[in-house]
Amino acid sequence: MDWGLKNRLSRIIKPHNNRALMLAVDHGYFLGPTEKLENPKKVIAPILKYCDSLMVTRGVQRTSVSPTSDTPMVLRVSGGSSIIGDDLSQEDITVSLEEAIRLNASAVAMSIFVGSKYEYQTIVNLGKLVNEAEKYGMPVLAVTAVGKELGKDARYLSLACRVAAEQGAHIVKTYYCDNFEKVVQSCPVPIIVAGGKKIPERDALQLTYNSIKAGAVGLDMGRNIWQSEHPVAMIQAARSIIHGNSNVEQAYSLYKKLAAQDNQNKSKNQNKSKKQNNPNQNKSKKQNNPNQNKSKKQNNPNQNKSKNQNKSKKQNNPNQNKSKKQNNPNQNKSKKQNNPNQNKSSNSNQSK
Ligand code: R5P
């Protein structure tokens, strides 16, 4: 293996622990603006720093990733069918090696559809891509895509991964399944596992843990990160398994802690933006009803009148309070007798 190819591979699979966390955002190449990836730039920005590499199409790389980013790019170079077309397996190579080099890709990726109508075409394309890529020291990632009619069991996935490796793929991406050790053991090149459809966060972390335990070098996870309510929390939790050797419980606790912080920040920002959107809230209430106090008085013109009536009552009976005291001349005296230190203590408090 030449120096350039080894060097590029080491950007994707970290040599210090032989592990990889690839963030997949290439789904639009056949799904269009899939749920929660409608705006790739917004999705990628907060989570990019937590992955080892980004799996991307050239369109998204050009428009949604800064050219100053130092995250290695795994460039998808195959395509040709969409989710509403006749057959998803009808793919060809759509991006040249020159373009991949121009985009400073660290690897190129394409799908093979073993057992599908277009199996032959996609497998031959993989062989041809490896021929071309190796001229430039460019690693090839083969994605073992599974058609609707094919089961994702160990027998089938072992076959698909082995076929990809035999064609010269440097890394193979596949799905997790029961007895996944068998898939890993019969594939002579490193395997990374796709996250698949969105499942609850804890289950996705379990899948990550099981994949690593069974011998995968890492994950290429997309939907289970950016379709989560808390993508930044989720990618860090997955990372803690892949690079921090966390178990599922530890990773899930980390997810919950970071998700709670995220919720707090979100509600703070909501309150802030509410205030910013309506700085004159109190002011405008008054402005809307400048006669508020005035009208209250108008509605109850007798309010002051009755106050005056009380005043006049007192005037009519100036001895009202006096007579109360006269009825109990020892009132204050007896209080003092019950608590002779009353004044003393209030004085001592004052002196402190
Ligand atoms: C499929 O479009 C791509 O190959 C994805 O990169 C792959 O399926 C991984 O993404 P996810 O974790 O969403 O399955």
- Kindly give the number of the ligand 1 atom that is closest to the alpha carbon of 219: 12
pLDDT for residue 296 is more than 50: no
Does 305 or 168 have the greater pLDDT score? 168
Q: pLDDT per residue over 106-120, tens digit each?
A: 999 999 999 999 999
User: Average pLDDT, whole number, for the chain?
Assistant: 85
Q: Which CATH class is domain 3-271?
A: alpha beta
* Ligand 1, atom nearest to 24 Cα: 6
pLDDT over 60 at 328, yes or no:
no
Residues with a known catalytic role: 173
pLDDT in tens, 277-291: 776 655 554 455 544
**Model confidence at 211: pLDDT above 80:** yes
Q: How many angstroms separate the Cα of 212 from the Cα of each of 9, 219, 260?
A: 19, 8, 27
Q: Would you place residue 273 in the very low, low, confident or very high pLDDT band (cuts 50, 70, 90)?
A: confident
**Residue from 143, 224, 225, 227 to probe ligand 1 pocket by mutation (most atoms less than 8 Å from CB):** 143
Residue of 21, 25, 27 to mutate, ligand 1, most atoms within 8 A of C-beta: 27
Q: How far apart are CA 107 and CA 61, in angstroms?
A: 14
Place of tokens 């109190």: 282
pLDDT at res. 259: 98
pLDDT at 196 over 50: yes
How does strand 73-76 pair with strand 78-79?
unpaired
Domain map (residue ranges) of the chain: 3-271, 280-317
Ligand 1 pocket: which residues have CB below 6 Å? 24, 26-27, 55, 143, 194-196, 220-224
pLDDT at position 341, please? 37
**Structure confidence at residue 227 as a pLDDT band (50, 70, 90):** very high
Q: Nearest Cα to 43, choosing from 70, 66, 64, 63?
A: 64
Lowest mean pLDDT: which of 35-39, 134-138, 185-189, 262-266? 262-266
Q: Whose CA is nearest to atom 1 of ligand 1?
A: 27
Residue nearest to atom 7 of ligand 1 (CA): 194
Burial, 102: exposed, middle or buried (Cβ in 10 Å; 0-12, 13-18, 19+)?
exposed
Give residue 149's pLDDT band: very low, low, confident or very high (50, 70, 90): low
* Ligand 1 atom closest to Cα of residue 223: 13
Q: Stretch 218-222: mean pLDDT, rounded?
A: 98
Name which of 90-99, 244-253, 261-270, 340-349 the model is least confident about. 340-349
Helices (H), the chain: 3-12, 28-31, 40-47, 58-64, 97-102, 119-135, 154-166, 180-185, 201-213, 223-226, 231-242, 248-277, 281-288, 292-299, 302-316, 320-327, 331-338, 342-351
Q: Which tens digit of pLDDT belongs to each residue from 330-345?
A: 444 444 443 433 433 3
Best probe residue, ligand 1, of 220, 224, 228, 234 (max atoms within 8 Å of C-beta): 220
